[in-house]
Structure formats: structure tokens, C-alpha cells
Amino acid sequence: MASSDTDRGPIAAGAAPAALPSGVTRELARYIVQARYDDLPAAVRKEGLRTLVNWVGVAVGGSHHETIDKAVAALAPFSGASHASVLGRTERFDIMNAAFINGVSSHIFDFDDTHLKTIIHPAAPVAPAILAFSEYRSVPGSEFLNALILGVETECRIGNAVYPDHYDRGWHITGTCGVFGTAVAMGKLLGLTEQQMVWALGLAASQPVGFRESFGSMNKSFNPGRAAHNGMTAAVLAAAGFTSSDEMIEARRGWASTISTRQDFREITGELGQRYESLLNTYKPFACGVVLHPAIDAAIQLRNRFGLKVDQIDRIALQVNPLVLELTGKKTPNTGLDGKFSVYHAVAVALVEGVAGEKQFSDRAVCDPVVLALRPKVVPTADRSVKAEQVDCRITLIDGRTVHTRIEHATGSAESPLSDGALEAKVLGLAEGILAQPQARRLLDACWNIEKLPSAAAVAEAAIPR
Amino acid sequence: MASSDTDRGPIAAGAAPAALPSGVTRELARYIVQARYDDLPAAVRKEGLRTLVNWVGVAVGGSHHETIDKAVAALAPFSGASHASVLGRTERFDIMNAAFINGVSSHIFDFDDTHLKTIIHPAAPVAPAILAFSEYRSVPGSEFLNALILGVETECRIGNAVYPDHYDRGWHITGTCGVFGTAVAMGKLLGLTEQQMVWALGLAASQPVGFRESFGSMNKSFNPGRAAHNGMTAAVLAAAGFTSSDEMIEARRGWASTISTRQDFREITGELGQRYESLLNTYKPFACGVVLHPAIDAAIQLRNRFGLKVDQIDRIALQVNPLVLELTGKKTPNTGLDGKFSVYHAVAVALVEGVAGEKQFSDRAVCDPVVLALRPKVVPTADRSVKAEQVDCRITLIDGRTVHTRIEHATGSAESPLSDGALEAKVLGLAEGILAQPQARRLLDACWNIEKLPSAAAVAEAAIPR
């Protein structure tokens, strides 16, 4: 006869554990409950707007991928009242299913925002939940932005506390930490008390999502979408008085100790309201892994600076960090997805088209004869002295001239953030073929101006094709 | 610049890992897809019926707990079409929300079935999902029973592969393994192909639920309920062609290696169709942790054998395993829940009332003056020579006589299973006050006869108060 799991038995874990702190979950909950929009520094608000702008772009952009077609077909029979929109489409779902679908959509292209310290994609779980809720119950735009920023702050801080061990072990950190961000953002809009927020965090902790083994399948995008659903469920239950532990994050058999070999709880509760992880959010200019970004950036810069035409180019010599060849060394990619793992394709298509968005990593693009002709002229050389964020690029022209640049920090990194204009161009590119351009423009305006909007639902309304 | 999580980088996990097998997920999926009701040995079918009978009892029994009141109130606004019942109540929900609520309900009293090798409560995640689905789309009773048995088999085998390390570390194993059981049981009813079943297992793996820190709060019952919801979501998506990894259970950065320090994959795929873990399912006769069961069992046996009346009793001397005092040593419990952690209350109330169901661990029972008078006469002594499954009980009467028994395996253990009659009495007790007795009797009949029913929905229909 084994002991029951109701027993508070002395079943020992492997190693003698270090002393654990108490009050982490409660301290975080208290901060979230008390944090007001008016307390946010201007720079934090601005970064929140950029996070929102980037997110609507990727959510609309992914909305007609087969992943979404399948999710919509699978879940429609079980959806509740049509309170919320699927961005970029005309179907409507209950707020939980809509949050799930929009969360999946925004991660499909791996083109969403990134908190580089943890590789969390912060918006994908949080934004779809609170946007769907805003269509159900009116939420002033400033409250929406406050919730979004607090959600991002929460998930990134919790991620910091367990990164890198948690990620190295195999967890898809966006899905495991994202659920906390969603729960507190939703909890904020639901007006939870401190105790309810503690329970929401506990119920959220109980629902981590995703392993890195999912990468390369639809399951990867599933993870942030399900984190949105889970966090929303946690907050809605807590609002009704559904209880949890008071110390789910920090307890011996709670989240952090069970899910990671390393925990630094000061990352969660240190300097709350003073240090903002959400300020470190970044936005990819190129629709592929960041390891390729310096090379693409260099190619586009030289193309634009010297007005290069493809038929002028004889050779593109790149000195790259060894990771570039290790991770993206495919010489003859056959699909758009393969193209994301080919430095040859990425640099060639960037020189041909001047951008490297999702359309440049399509099946069409990897078969384009002009790109194919340029591909063998891309000659990368691994060089240990070149850091991952650097590249040296020298293009030799048919006439013998050479042009050269060296990138220290690629555009889109924390050191060289994407400009607001480039962010807008990215969103407009993603919306192309889904929203008419004037409507895409209105969508951008709704996001940039959300602080003044009486209802955040205007963002969702502007993201539906008319 | 950090590497993106799309990179297949050589980020090393802590220790050099042993070689991992391949094909585990697929082999399991293939077995599930091919397994037919007609292949099940008679003893396995019979145990499946007992699992179902016990489950409907605990689901109905928990249905009016405040935990369910809160869940119903929280989720009603977002529920889809009213396809499925909440057992013991009159509300109806979409099949996913109904599966969640019935899953929570059946775990509230910790009175559900137990696979003692892993401490998994097998029915709680699986049965509510397939019963709700049976109300949505007609499912022959024999197919229902086959799906239930395959679901139980799957979760217990996967649990075996990671127990005890996974549980010791802090996971609530019913929630983490249960989701697999639900996914395959649902997948079976949805008629998934082998590849779809592989994906369903992958999506299920991505959604483990629950930590042991939740014990003592509503979050504990939440875990199997959410596992039901998660497994259902996994199967429904996979049926629509939503993809996952082919090796989510066994891959280096998949489920078992990330979630446990120990993996024995032979437990999952060894002797499929020959060794049945589902045969090892057990049903508690008493509504408390199994550590107390030998003492309660002894008290009730002596009471019944000698027709003992409370006012005859002078002293109840118990030789118990040391765990009994360690885990259930509360001398003066004040609430029903406290009573579950008091050997004094448990033995006293069992002698007074002749049973030890949920009503004997209520706030009413711990304040009953007759029980209170008997409580100090319970004298347990820890004895290392007494195993956890044993007890020695000697009751001294006022007139000086003594009666004595020694329990080797308490009723409800694998060695001394609860009889069908006792199981029925347990269910009737749980349904008391919720279903009229003739209806509770019809519910039992529907369960015992499900193999002959054209639609398993009859079980749900019989569990709704008329």
C-alpha cells in the first residue's frame, strides 16, 4: 500500500534543497494589484505601444496560415458566445477560444517580439487574452496598456528567475512563463483583490505549456496560444473565489523548484516598479532566427546605400560567427521554412527584394530564379572572432569594385532597436493581402493611440477585414 | 544578442544524457489505434466497469461542493452549446467545460480511484471527457468502455515510466499523466489515425497540470479537471490535422526527459495488450488518505462482528505504522478536512457510524458529541514492525472483555479489493441528498450495463437530478 497523495508525507526529493524564501507570490500579486497606469514611466508606455503594434502585425500576418484554418475548424463546434474576433479573419469565438487562436496566430512566423535575456516572446500569450476580454467588457485603452505592460513584466521577471536552466532542460519558456503574464494582465482587468491575484498566479503556475521538442511543428505556435487560454482560465476562476496555494511560485513542491534546477527569486520581486524588464523587449525586422539578422542587415544596408542591382553582384563574402553555419548552413533550401535555416537564401533574397519578411521565406521565394542565381555567390566564412551579434560583409561587383560594411549590432537588437517607422513597415507588410492598406493604417493608428481610446476593442475591430 | 528559440542550437543540458529510445510515442499510438473492445480480457472489462461506477459516485458526490459552485459561476459566461451535463446538477455546458467541471468534481473528496504504483487517480481526467463527448456524438457503450480502459492504461503506463522521481520532485502526477489518458481516450472516440494519435499525444504532453503545493486548496481538484480539458483539446486539434512532434514523449527536449530525472520507457510500450495496469486500479472505502484505512477497517470489522455499541467501549488500542501518527496525529480536529488528518476522529466516527465516507469527515461529524466522547479512548502506538498496510486493534469493553483483530491488507487495497456491493454502497452514500435513491440505483445499473447500451450518454442522463 503506497501513501496517498493527500498525505503530507516526508517523501524526500533527490538532493537536500536550499532554504526557500516565502512571500514571493504574494509580493508580486500585491504589486500587480496596486500598479496604476499613471505610475508607468513614459519610456515604458512607449515600449508597450511598440509591443502592441508588433503583436497585431504578426497576429494578422499569421491569420491565414493552415495552422489557424485547422484550429478554427477544430474549435468552432465548442465555442461559446461570439464575443471576440479572430484577427485578420471574419470568424468570431468566445473570449477564451479567441485568445487561443490569436495567440497561436501571432507566433506562427516566429516573427514576434523577443525578450532576449530569456528568449520569451512576451506578447503572444498576453495580448490576445486581454484584447479578447476588451471585446467582451469595455476596457479603457490606458487600462489595457497597463495590463499588457504588467503582464509582460511578470512573465519576463519569472523567466529571469529560472533562465537558462529551465530552457536548457527543454521547456518552451514562452509557454511556461507566458501563462503568468496572461493571468495577471487578465486579473488586472477583472479587478482582482490581492488574495485573488495570489490564487490566479497559483492556478497559472499549475498550467505550464510546451517543450522545445515541439519546434518545427504547429505545436510550437500552440504553446503561447494555450498559455493565453490557461492564464485566462486562472484569472476567471480566481475572480470567482476558486482558491490555490499562497506560495505556488516559491514553495518546495511548487513551480520554480519543480520546473527548474535554478531559481533566483530576486529577479521576480526585486525593484518592482523601478526596474522594467518590459523595456528590454525587441522586435525582429527579419522573419527568421536572430542568428541570421546581422548578415541580412548588412546586405540590405549595402544594397540601399549603393543602389546595388542584382546583376551587378559577383560575390558576397561574409565573416560570420560559427553559429551561423552551424544553425543556418542549408545550401539548397526547398521550402520557405527551409529558407529560414539557410544563410545563402536569406542573404540572396534580402539583396534581391530589399526586405526579409515572411514573404521572403515562402515557398515562392526559395524557388525564385533570380534568388537562385544569386544564392551560390553568397560565401560565408566562420570566424570565432566575430560575435553572434556581428558580421563583416564585403560585396564584390562584376566591374571589380567592392563595397563593405561591418555590423556591430543588427537592427532589431536591444542596442539598435527597430525604429517606429520600420516597425510600421513590418506590420503593413504582414497585413498585405489580408487588410486593405487604408485599414492596416487605421489599425496602426488605433494601436499608437490606444491610451486615448475609450475602449481597447477598437484595435480588434480595426484588425477584421471589411 | 541571444540565440532565437527557433535555433536548433547546441545548448547543453546539465549532465551528459544517456541514449534515448525512439518510436515510443508512435508505438503507443499504434497500439491505441488498433486496440478493439473485443480484444479486452473479461477481467479488464470488469475492472473498467468498477472504475466507471466509482467515478460516477465521486463526481455526483462532489457536485454541490463550493468548488463546483465557483467553477460553474466563473465559466458559464464563456461556455459554448449546452451539449453536456454537469453530473449531479442541472446546468449544461459545452463538452470541454463540462469535462473540466466533472473532472474537478470527482476529485474534490480525494475519494476517487487510485493506481497505487503511481498514486494516479486514473478516472478523474479521462471519464469526464469521454462522457461529455458521448452526449455530443453518440458513442456505443462498448466503445466508451474500451476508450476508458485504454485511457487509464496509457496514463498509468506513462506514470510508471517516471514514478517516483517525477512525483517526488513536486508534480501532481494525476494532472501530468492524466492528460495523456484523456487524449488517447478522446482520440479513440474521434477515430484518429496513427499519425493523428501521435500528434494528440504530443499536444497532450505539452500541457502537464499541477504541483503538489496545490494540495489543501481547490487547485488540487482543478488539476485533473484541467487535464481533461487539455487532453480533449489535444485530440480535437489532432483530428483536424494540427501537428506536433513525432517523438514528444521520448525526445531529448520532450516530455519525459524534461519533466523527470528518471525514465523507463519499457513501462510505456512493454507487453501492450498483455499486461494491463488498469487491472491494478483500486477504490477507497473510506474518504481519507490510505494511511488511515487499516485502522478504520479494523474498527468497523470489530463493530460489526461483535455488535459493539459506543457506550460499551472503554479503550481502543492500536498498533500502527509510524506514518499514521506522523501524518494523521491531530488530536482535536475542528473541521471535516482536519478530521482526515486525525486517527482519533477517524476511528471514533467509524465505530459510531459504521462507515467512514465523506459525511463522516464533515464539520458536523467532527463536532458530534458522541464522537467527541469516544475520541480520547483511541490510543494509537507507533510500531516500526507494523507495515503501512497493517494494523493491530484491541478494543477493551467497560465490562473488561476485549475484542481483537489484525489487518494485513485493508479493504480497498489491491490485495483486498472493495467488493462490488461495497462499491455500490459507497456510490449510494455519495449520491444521497443529490439523487433520489431509485435514480441512484438506475445510475448504477447504467454503469454496470454500459457494454450493452447503444449510447453511453445514458450514464450522464441518469446522473442528473430529476
Write the pLDDT tens digit of every residue in B316-326: 999 999 989 98
The pLDDT assigned to A21 comes to: 86
The pLDDT assigned to A8 comes to: 35
**SS3 for B91?**
coil
**SS3 for A128?**
helix
Is A61 in contact with A111 (CB distance < 8 Å)? yes
Is B228 in contact with B126 (CB distance < 8 Å)? yes
Cβ pair B10:A254 closer than 8 A:
no
Q: What is the pLDDT of residues B66-93, one digit of tens each?
A: 999 999 999 999 999 999 999 999 999 9
Residue B258 has pLDDT above 80, yes or no: yes
Percentage of chain A surpassing pLDDT 90?
91
Q: What are the backbone angles phi and psi of residue A309, rounded to the nearest 5°?
A: -105, 150
Is A106 in contact with A127 (CB distance < 8 Å)? yes
Cβ pair B327:A236 closer than 8 A:
no
The pLDDT assigned to A12 comes to: 38
The pLDDT assigned to B3 comes to: 38
The pLDDT assigned to A337 comes to: 85
The residues pairing with B391 across neighbouring beta strands, listed in sequence order, are B407
Cβ pair A252:B213 closer than 8 A:
yes
Is B209 in contact with B182 (CB distance < 8 Å)? no
Residues in B closer than 8 angstroms to A71, CB to CB, are 237, 240, 242
Q: What is the pLDDT of residues B114-154, one digit of tens each?
A: 998 999 999 999 999 999 999 999 999 999 999 999 999 99
**SS3 for A256?**
helix
Q: What are the backbone angles phi and psi of residue A375, rounded to the nearest 5°?
A: -50, -50
The pLDDT assigned to A18 comes to: 59
The pLDDT assigned to A330 comes to: 92
Chain B's closest residue to A201, CA to CA, is B219
Residues in B closer than 8 angstroms to A75, CB to CB, are 236-237
Is A283 in contact with A50 (CB distance < 8 Å)? yes
Q: What is the pLDDT of residues B34-49, one digit of tens each?
A: 999 999 999 999 999 9
Q: What is the pLDDT of residues B157-195, one digit of tens each?
A: 999 999 999 999 999 999 999 999 999 999 999 999 999
The partner residue sitting opposite A205, judged by closest CB among B199, B211, B236, is B211
Residues in B closer than 8 angstroms to A213, CB to CB, are 202, 245, 247-248, 251-255
The pLDDT assigned to B7 comes to: 36
Is B463 in contact with B436 (CB distance < 8 Å)? no
H helix or E strand, kind and range, residue B63: none
**Alpha carbons B46 and B40: distance in angstroms, whole number:** 10
The partner residue sitting opposite B290, judged by closest CB among A3, A74, A251, is A3
The pLDDT assigned to A41 comes to: 98
Of A5-9, A327-331, B95-99, B403-407, give the lowest mean pLDDT range. A5-9
Cβ pair B258:A171 closer than 8 A:
yes
The pLDDT assigned to B16 comes to: 45
Is B35 in contact with B273 (CB distance < 8 Å)? yes
Across chain B, what does the average pLDDT equal? 94
Instruction: Give the count of Cβ contacts less than 8 A between chain A and B.
Output: 307
- Residue B18's pLDDT band (cuts 50, 70, 90): low
Residue B52 has pLDDT above 70, yes or no: yes
**SS3 for B434?**
coil
Chain B's closest residue to A227, CA to CA, is B207
The residues of chain A scoring below 70 in pLDDT are: 1-18
Chain B interface disruption, residue of A213, A260, A281, most B CBs within 10 A: A213
ipTM: 0.92
Residue B338 has pLDDT above 90, yes or no: no
Cell (9 digits) for A147: 495590463
**Alpha carbons A164 and A180: distance in angstroms, whole number:** 18
Cβ pair A222:B215 closer than 8 A:
no
- Residue B252's pLDDT band (cuts 50, 70, 90): very high
Distances from the Cα of A155 to the Cα of A70, B28, B30, B276, angstroms: 28, 35, 38, 42
Cβ pair A245:B218 closer than 8 A:
no
The partner residue sitting opposite A253, judged by closest CB among B212, B223, B255, is B212
Is B440 in contact with B425 (CB distance < 8 Å)? no
Is A84 in contact with A94 (CB distance < 8 Å)? yes
Is A181 in contact with A125 (CB distance < 8 Å)? yes
Tell me, yes or no, if the pTM score tops 0.90.
yes
